[in-house]
Amino acid sequence: MFRLIFSPRWFYGIDILFEIFFVFITLLISFYGYRIYKLSKNKEHKYFSISFLLIAISFAFKILTNFDIYFNVFRTMKIGLHTLVLSYLYNSGIIYVTGLFIYKLLTTLAFFVLLLITTKKHSKNDVYLIVYLIFISTVFSSFTYYIFHITLVIILFFLCSYLYNNYKKRKERSKFLVFFSFLMIFLGQFAFMMIFLATEFYVVGEIFLLAGYSILLYNYLLVSRK
């Protein structure tokens, strides 16, 4: 079984630590969202909680996939800028393929759900159509890595523009922090798209994600402890 690794060798395992941190933050926000839903019984709040839970689960699958890649490495070959990894465990390929597929599908769905609940106006047909397109883009991104990140960049662009307008309406620090954190996540996905230029873009992307999720955590602590 062979897989493509986009991370520079020195970054192996560091990204896993980052992602464990992302799981912790997104679970925290999801749990808080669920507490709010229990009180409000508002469906928007339920979906808000679910979307962060989906992000947490997706990162858990990415961690699993990265573990599978980094610790089952038999031999690596450099092909252009990418590293082709040959593994001696043939059946572990299932973990790689399934893990990556679930990671991509859940991440895209999570940000799409966030976009839906923040922009509010949508019909059921739009939702079904977009879920179908997300599924298709996830399936095809198994072959073309960049499709997944392009889809996310587009969803995050709309989400960021909504969050910026939300901040512009009433300029508050917490609104700015949420907008800024999603901007960082957007830039992170953008950097992942640039991996074909240099594998260091993977590190840049992960650092942007780290900044984004850290700001989300900071905002959560700021708002919930005041």
Partner 1 sequence: MKSRRDRIDVIYDILSAIEKEGGQIKPTRLMYKSNLSHKLLKSHMQDLIERGVIEETTIKKKNYIVITESGKKFISELRKMKRFLESFGL
- Per CB under 8 A, which of residues 112..151 are in contact with partner 1? 117-118
Contact assessment for residue 81 and residue 199, using Cβ atoms and an 8 Å cutoff: yes
Determine the Cα angle at 37 with ends 31 and 40, to 5°.
Answer: 150
Nearer to partner 1, 81 or 127 (CB): 127
Contact flag: residue 221 with partner 1 (CB under 8 A): no
Least distance from partner 1 to the Cβ atom of residue 122, Å? 15
CA–CA gap between residue 30 and residue 8 (Å, rounded): 32
Contact flag: residue 223 with partner 1 (CB under 8 A): yes
Task: Calculate the CA 118 to chain-centre distance.
Answer: 18
Contact flag: residue 226 with partner 1 (CB under 8 A): yes
Contact flag: residue 41 with partner 1 (CB under 8 A): yes
> Which of 45, 62, 104, 149: binder of partner 1 (CB under 8 A)?
45
Least distance from partner 1 to the Cβ atom of residue 19, Å? 22
Contact flag: residue 168 with partner 1 (CB under 8 A): no
Nearer to partner 1, 181 or 189 (CB): 181
Contact flag: residue 161 with partner 1 (CB under 8 A): no
Token code pair at residue 182: 């999603």
Least distance from partner 1 to the Cβ atom of residue 212, Å? 14
Phi first, then psi, for residue 176 (nearest 5°) are -65, -40
CA–CA gap between residue 209 and residue 107 (Å, rounded): 13
CA–CA gap between residue 226 and residue 222 (Å, rounded): 6
> Which of 6, 48, 145, 148: binder of partner 1 (CB under 8 A)?
48
- Per CB under 8 A, which of residues 52..111 are in contact with partner 1? none
Token code pair at residue 136: 């298709």
Contact assessment for residue 59 and residue 24, using Cβ atoms and an 8 Å cutoff: no
Nearer to partner 1, 86 or 223 (CB): 223
Contact assessment for residue 33 and residue 49, using Cβ atoms and an 8 Å cutoff: yes
| Closest alpha carbon to 107 in 172, 140, 42, 152 | 152
Residues that bind partner 1 (CB under 8 A): 32, 35-36, 39-42, 44-45, 48, 117-118, 162-163, 166, 172, 174-175, 177-178, 219-220, 223-224, 226
